[in-house]
Amino acid sequence: MEKREIVLAAFAAGGENAGYSPVQVQKILFLIDRKAADHVGGTHFDFVPYDYGPFDRSVYDVIDGLWAEGLVEKRDLGRYREYVLTPEGYKRGLAKLDGLGDTAATYLRRLVEWVRSLTFRQLVSSVYKMYPHMQINSIFRA
């Protein structure tokens, strides 16, 4: 899979009209790279420890490309943006998600559900507990 396909599948895993904050996007894709790489053709991003844990700037480059294609909407919510698949983006993302097979698709759906159920603080803290080395440059204190 290509980066763009992973992003589409991950976003579709949350269901139609699911919105994602920047921290949710970064942590979902980080966890896919760490825990589901075998199901998506390896790791695709180069996450480094940053202000709020694992971060890769190229994630936003991919999203910008999907936005330019009309597959992702960017919604300004004041303090941050929210990313949502358009109907066509959801259709394509769902096809990519289903193409992963039952085990991987189920994992992605559960992962996304878990990430979206947590507050910002809970999410960052949980990732730090699993990957303590990712808090080395953090400005976040649990």
- Quick one: residue 7, left, alpha or beta (phi over 0 = left, psi -120 to 50 = alpha)? alpha
| Helix, strand or coil, per DSSP, at residue 20 | strand
Paired with 95 in beta bridges are none
Q: What is the pTM of this model?
A: 0.95
Q: What is the pLDDT of residues 54-111, one digit of tens each?
A: 999 999 999 999 999 999 999 998 888 999 999 999 999 999 999 999 999 999 999 9
Tens-digit pLDDT profile for residues 122-133: 999 999 999 999
For the chain, the domains span: 3-135
pLDDT digits (tens, 9 = 90+) for 15-27: 999 999 999 999 9
For the segment 113-118, the average pLDDT, to the nearest whole number, is 98
Segment 3-16, tens digit of pLDDT: 999 999 999 999 99
Taking residue 22's Cβ as centre, other Cβ atoms within 10 Å add up to 16
Q: Name the fold adopted by 3-135.
A: Arc Repressor Mutant, subunit A (1.10.10)
